[in-house]
Amino acid sequence: MKLLENIRVIDMTNVLSGPFCTLHLSLLGAEVIKIENPDGGDLARKLGNVSKLNQDLMGTSFLAQNANKKSLTLNLKMDRGKEIFRKLLETADVVVENFRPGVMARLGFSYEEICKISPKIVYCAISGFGQTGPDAFKPAYDQIIQGLSGEMDVNGDERLHPLRAGFPVCDTVGGLNAAFAIMAALYYREKTGEGQFIDIALIDSIMPLMGWVAANLLIGGKPPIPMGNDNFTAAPSGVFKTKDGFINIAANQQKQWEDLADIVGLPELKTDPRFQERDTRKANRKLLTPILEEKLTLNTTEYWVDILNEKGIPSGDIVSLENALNSEQIKHRQTIVDVKEPQIGNIRILNLSAKFSKTPASVDAPPPRLSAHTEEILTQIGYTKEDMKLLKEKMVI
């Protein structure tokens, strides 16, 4: 069986944080019914770097987050649309939405109203700042949250600061946080029979990821210093030049540092008072790096990676995204899988990263075309072909 077999999720989400949440649920076997506006559907359908796919409402951004899901178009501003939605709620286990606070209430479907239809429902609302507080009603995109959370303040260096992360990290971790919370709430419901409301804020979600940096300020009283590719917890730990490129080295333990000094031919550094102890090495990292690079540039990245890893000093090449996605380890882990979309052909999709021994996740169906499952789902809840013809004419579906 699938881990979430027989769990029905009503997915009201758009673009990234919400769809990334429900993607995890769908890969684990939940039936995820994506409710989309009849006029174009999820905005992500038009986002990506392939114009034809955007025009076909199957943009790469949509393809990345919506495998295994079903698409039902529904105009919730119309009474007949609300009627259909109520019938769907009677069959649902989970509702996920990422509107601004208050939108669902204005449509007539606040959590309190939904509970009257089905008290067992787990309702998860994802927003930029949460459902309450002075910022709750402000608009929010990932980059706005990156800036307001302090995440951009810990990136970059003295030349380039503040600096955003190269992918929408706040949206992504917000979706992951929501998926985790929904699973926990379903476990609670299994024990008690009770659903509940979950309030996920992107700004809350990103902050625990900065735990060590935040602790240095909250507990140690020291604000972050932008250090670029250096690791603030240790030295030498960061990016270093080699003969043909760059290498990541993380000599975070004292023995690793001492072994590194021996391997590169600088044993005298082990007793140099500037570098002997961890904290003094960190304080003098700008002196240490060029000394090490003078030796590291005598040989290739591949040479140093092999010899350092062999001695237990974590190190690695810095590869392109293309090479990373096609690495042998990623192939072995089946982190990326192929799925066939009837009109596009084979597309490569990132799989669930957790590997379950008894209930493995899987990509079983491609991301859906807009409204591909409307007829199937409405038939399940009692609508006839004639009913659906009339609903289409009135632009309810």
Active site residues: 171
Residue 219: how many other CB atoms lie within 10 Å: 8
- Counting every residue written for the chain, the total comes to 397
Sheet strand arrangement including 122-127: 70-73, 31-36, 8-11, 94-97, 122-127, 197-201
Q: What residue type is assigned to position 152 of the chain?
A: M
Q: Is 237 in a helix, a strand, or coil?
A: strand
Joined tokens for residue 150 = 């302090």
- Closest C-alpha among 357, 9, 34, 1 to residue 183: 9
Q: How many CA atoms are closer than 13 Å to the CA of 145, on its beta-carbon side?
A: 25
Quick count: other Cβ atoms within 10 Å of Cβ 334?
A: 13
Greatest CA separation for the chain: 86
For 133, the token pair is: 């507080």
